[in-house]
Amino acid sequence: MVFTVLGLLLVTFLIGRVVPIDPVLAMVGDRASAETYARVRQEMGLDLPLWQQFLRYVWSVMQGDLGESVLTSRPVLEDVARVFPATLELATCGVLLGVLLGVPAGVLAAVNRGRWPDHVIRLLGLLGHSVPIFWLGLMALLLFYARLDIAPGPGRVDVFYEGMVEPVTGIITLDALMAGETDIFWNALHHLVLPAGVLGLYSVAYIARMTRSFMLDQLRQEYITTARVKGLSESRVIWRHAMGNIAIPLLTVVALSYATLLEGSVLTETVFAWPGLGLYITNSLLSADMNAVLGGTLLVGLVFIALNLVTDLLYRLLDPRSR
């Protein structure tokens, strides 16, 4: 993990130095004097050799200092901590939909291999995995919001409810329940349906395809034949024996899907004006705020690493052989 994190820091550092954006100019403006430009450049350490800049960058990150955002004039770490719960809420709902619908769909396709349920699920999985997520979000808004008027518009809550709940966890549905504001809770939940459904469809497609593949491999094993010969019911053979053996690789798939949703929500948040990490990174990039962009990118990378670590630890609980 240490080498992985160092590699992540190196990549984000090099991205900040390669992109054609002058961080000093973004900080002081294009009307600043040459003396001001040189002073700020020296304060930011950009006059040092590249290896010294990288060491300073690593040391700052280790101290929790990701720099100051040009867009908000606040520390990037504070901004990221403020917007990340919204992304976490959205991605969590998406991956829950993926697990609740994708796993049964994958099992159903594997059990009915070559028949019409298998063909339908594979087709839907292919469409869900290949259709661009931003186009799917736009079509969802056009159909359910603009045409049918059965879903609320962009944002986390209606404008009337904004700022009425004190952000304790940053997850507005949970904060509304803690505050006893049921009206705000239901309003936030309605706003969550479309973006979470769009992300969930992508997750369902991926998890269903992988579950089908894992299940087909297990159904060909000799222990499945033995269980059937012993007279066990088909549901017990599938859900107890076969599912138990695909739990480990399926856990990895779910964890990677979750991390992908946290990363891929950038486009979804932009389409639905969802004030999370993705929208924050997008607005920062358009404003040439590289400290904020690199801070958000670094967080996404750390989430990937953390989810992989948690998955490895869960292996010990699910598979006694790993102990």
Please name each of the domains of the chain with its CATH number: 2-62 (no CATH), 81-148+199-322 (1.10.3720.10)
Instruction: Quote the CA–CA distance of 220 and 224 in Å, as a whole number.
Output: 7
What's the whole-number mean pLDDT along residues 293-310? Answer: 84
Q: What is the pLDDT of residues 19-68, one digit of tens each?
A: 777 777 767 767 777 777 788 777 777 777 888 888 888 888 888 888 88
Per-residue pLDDT of 184-217, as tens digits, reads 899 889 999 999 988 888 889 889 999 999 999 8
- Closest C-alpha to 247, from 211, 300, 204: 211
Q: How far apart are CA 149 and CA 153, in angstroms?
A: 9
CA distance 49 to 79: 29
Helix or strand or coil: residue 68?
Answer: strand
* DSSP-based three-state secondary structure for 75: strand
Give residue-wise pLDDT tens across range 244-297: 888 888 888 888 888 888 776 778 888 888 888 888 888 888 877 788 888 888
Phi/psi-derived region of residue 32, left when phi > 0, alpha when psi is between -120 and 50, beta in every other case: beta
In three-state secondary structure terms, 237 is helix
Distance CA 199, CA 173 (A): 18
Which residue, 323, 115, 121, is CA-closest to 210?
Answer: 121
Q: Report the amino acid identity of residue 23.
A: P
Return the C-alpha torsion angle 73, 77, 83, 88, nearest 10.
170
